[in-house]
């Protein structure tokens, strides 16, 4: 017989309740990158907008950076670690396949027995994590969910590749998602384009390296111009769709937080979307570089910490990257 199953009961809606970031202490200027590649500070600044990035030291592991960012987000949300029911961590640069980094973090934070798992969605990782968290809170599987984007991309950077050496940075950005009486995370417009898998990827799989087939440790490589065009043309459309899905226009926006990949991509998206003057645009890439899954929460935290954005502001966030994958949504800032 088919028994009648009691449905799960969650919150009416979900919201971001707190954010926190961690940037490694070592600041790496363009001059240091130039030791390894034939380029110039002027070229890097004009093509990418990046002047400095943070690179993690040996002690600043994926776990330590995550714990630092998560601790701040939990305090910002005004909850205790025991209240967290699930931990979702997005990363492509945690080099131990199993167990997940999320279980270690859940334990060391003192969450008790929170569900914990990692996801791999590259630079769209925060949007993917946020979407999962919203679902868990509304469906009732967790009252509070910790979402973290964390990367040590310096470990996956070929310092001698002049098309990528200056782009990447390290760091962690965290958010606590919990119950809300009002809608505060809009519908997610997300997807993947696996036919473009070769456009950004790891140079070789781990097992090729292990078996001695290649000498160089795997690194990130990309077709810069292809990514650039895709981001500017296709991602602006996705951002527009996220506004429409949330039932608002760019006039209703206070803040725009695109993935921090390249200042020229950010500027082009702002133009294509026709964002009004009053919209604050995250330009964290200048001093943080591209930190993949960490980039949006790091930028969000900095805008709030510096007073450029405030609690209750309406923000459009969009992440995009290797896969290719993307995720965009409108949120109310914590």
| Interacting residues toward ligand COA by CB under 6 A | 37, 39, 43, 47-48, 123, 162-163, 200, 222, 224-225, 227-228, 261-262, 265, 290, 321
The one catalytic residue in 30, 54, 94, 290 is 290
CB-CB contact of 108 with 62 (8 Å): no
Residues in CB range of 225: below 8 A, 6 or more apart: none
Q: Which residue is nearest to ligand COA (CB)?
A: 224
Minimum CB–partner distance for residue 224 and ligand COA (Å): 3
Residue with the two structure tokens 């111009």: 225
Report the run of H or E that residue 304 belongs to, with start and end.
helix 295-305
User: Closer to ligand COA at the Cβ: 178 or 258?
Assistant: 258
Minimum CB–partner distance for residue 238 and ligand COA (Å): 14
Instruction: Tell me the C-alpha distance between 67 and 296, whole Å.
Output: 18
Minimum CB–partner distance for residue 15 and ligand COA (Å): 27
Catalytic site residue 30?
no
Report the run of H or E that residue 72 belongs to, with start and end.
helix 62-77
The one catalytic residue in 30, 54, 94, 123 is 123
- What's the token pair of residue 294? 């960490």
User: Closer to ligand COA at the Cβ: 45 or 107?
Assistant: 45
Catalytic site residue 36?
no
86-100 burial, b at 16+ Cβ within 10 Å, e below that, comes to bbbbbbbbbeeeeeb
User: Closer to ligand COA at the Cβ: 222 or 240?
Assistant: 222
CB-CB contact of 311 with 334 (8 Å): yes
User: Closer to ligand COA at the Cβ: 77 or 167?
Assistant: 167
Show contacts of 213-219: CB within 8 Å, 24+ apart: 216/158, 218/156, 219/156, 219/157, 219/158, 219/161, 219/164
Minimum CB–partner distance for residue 43 and ligand COA (Å): 4
Q: Where are the alpha helices (DSSP H) in 124-279?
A: 125-139, 206-210, 224-230, 236-246, 263-273
Catalytic site residue 259?
yes
User: Closer to ligand COA at the Cβ: 43 or 117?
Assistant: 43
Minimum CB–partner distance for residue 313 and ligand COA (Å): 25
Enumerate the active-site residues. 123, 259, 290
């Amino acid at each position: 017989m088919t028994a009648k199953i009691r449905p799960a009961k969650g919150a009416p809606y979900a919201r971001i309740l707190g954010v926190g970031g961690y940037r490694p202490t070592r600041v790496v200027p363009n001059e240091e990158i130039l030791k390894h590649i034939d380029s110039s500070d002027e070229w890097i600044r004009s093509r990418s907008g990046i002047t400095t990035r943070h690179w993690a030291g040996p002690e600043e592991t994926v776990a330590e950076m995550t714990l630092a960012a998560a601790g701040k987000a939990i305090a910002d949300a005004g909850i205790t670690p025991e209240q967290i029911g699930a931990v979702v961590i997005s990363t492509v640069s945690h080099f131990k396949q199993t167990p997940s980094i999320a279980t270690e973090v859940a334990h060391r934070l003192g969450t008790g027995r929170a569900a914990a798992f990692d996801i791999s969605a590259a630079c769209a990782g925060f949007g993917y994590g946020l979407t999962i968290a919203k679902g868990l809170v509304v469906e009732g599987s967790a009252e509070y969910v910790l979402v973290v984007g964390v990367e040590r991309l310096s470990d996956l950077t070929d310092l001698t590749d002049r098309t990528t050496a200056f782009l990447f940075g390290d760091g962690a950005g965290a958010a606590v998602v919990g119950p809300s009486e009002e809608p505060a995370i809009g519908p997610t417009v997300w997807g993947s384009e696996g036919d473009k898998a070769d456009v950004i990827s790891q140079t070789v799989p781990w097992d090729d390296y292990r078996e001695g087939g290649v000498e160089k440790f795997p690194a990130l490589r990309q077709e810069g111009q292809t990514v650039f065009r895709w981001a500017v043309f296709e991602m602006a459309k996705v951002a527009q769709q996220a506004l429409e899905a949330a039932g608002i226009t760019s006039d209703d926006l206070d803040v725009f937080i695109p993935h921090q990949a390249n200042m020229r991509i950010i500027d082009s998206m702002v133009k294509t979307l026709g964002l009004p003057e009053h919209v604050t645009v995250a330009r964290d890439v200048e001093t943080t570089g591209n930190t993949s899954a960490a980039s949006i929460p790091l930028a969000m935290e900095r805008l709030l910490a510096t007073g450029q954005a405030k609690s209750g502001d309406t923000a459009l966030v969009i992440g995009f990257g290797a896969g290719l994958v993307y995720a965009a949504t409108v949120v109310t800032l914590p």
